[in-house]
Amino acid sequence: MDKVWLRALEPDDYKYTHQWRTDDATWSAVAGTKRFVSLDTERRWLVSALESHEKGGVLRFVVCVGDSDKPVGLVSATSVNHINNSCELGSLLSPEYRGKGIIQRAWVKVYDYLFSQLGMNRVECFILADNLASRRSHEKFGLVEEGVQRQAIYKDGGYKDLVVYSMLKSEFYSLHGDNLKSA
């Protein structure tokens, strides 16, 4: 099993994020609206994302596998709240790497960083109700379903529900503390 590791977002990563952004299967599974963007627009978005990361309001972690630094995914912590010690987490994984346990191994590293280094106590995720694969993945990781935001997203010509999941620091270490050395 190849190692999964994280690195910082780099300016040239826009070439990969652009591929993910233009993949229909990816965008049908996430709450965001698909936008048709040029490579230059994606490059400018990435420069802006790097600036947000440097300010600490949004943290982005590039997921890599094996010895390659080629991005296979991106985990983003948004709405970072240092008063309530909480944030929202979102993930994208390149289609050819899905279903291999890679994102969960990356989550172990990201959650540990958020809890142990940034002092977060709660991480929440919002997942389209009809994205059953993502919901199963989050539940398998140990996130708790808190409720449903009814018709919260307009997508594909209609309104869709969002399911709210969360994990507390104590829950993470109870479930994944032993996995930190092998993650």
pLDDT value at 142 more than 70: yes
Distance, first Cα to last Cα, the chain:
11
Banded model confidence at residue 28, pLDDT cuts 50, 70, 90: confident
pLDDT value at 60 more than 90: yes
pLDDT tens digits along 151-167: 999 998 999 999 999 99
Rounded average pLDDT over 47-67? 90
Say how far apart CA 86 and CA 170 lie, in whole Å.
13
pLDDT value at 183 more than 70: no
Rounded average pLDDT over 118-139? 96
In this prediction, residue 6 carries a pLDDT of: 97
Token output for 106: 């990356």
Token output for 175: 């479930």
Half-sphere exposure of 13 (CA within 13 A, CB side): 24
Say how far apart CA 157 and CA 39 lie, in whole Å.
27
pLDDT value at 82 more than 70: yes
Judge whether 109 and 5 are in contact, CB under 8 Å: yes
pLDDT value at 51 more than 90: no
Half-sphere exposure of 59 (CA within 13 A, CB side): 20
Half-sphere exposure of 92 (CA within 13 A, CB side): 23
In this prediction, residue 72 carries a pLDDT of: 96
Say how far apart CA 18 and CA 81 lie, in whole Å.
28
Superfamily holding 4-179:
Gcn5-related N-acetyltransferase (GNAT) (3.40.630.30)
Token output for 136: 């199963």
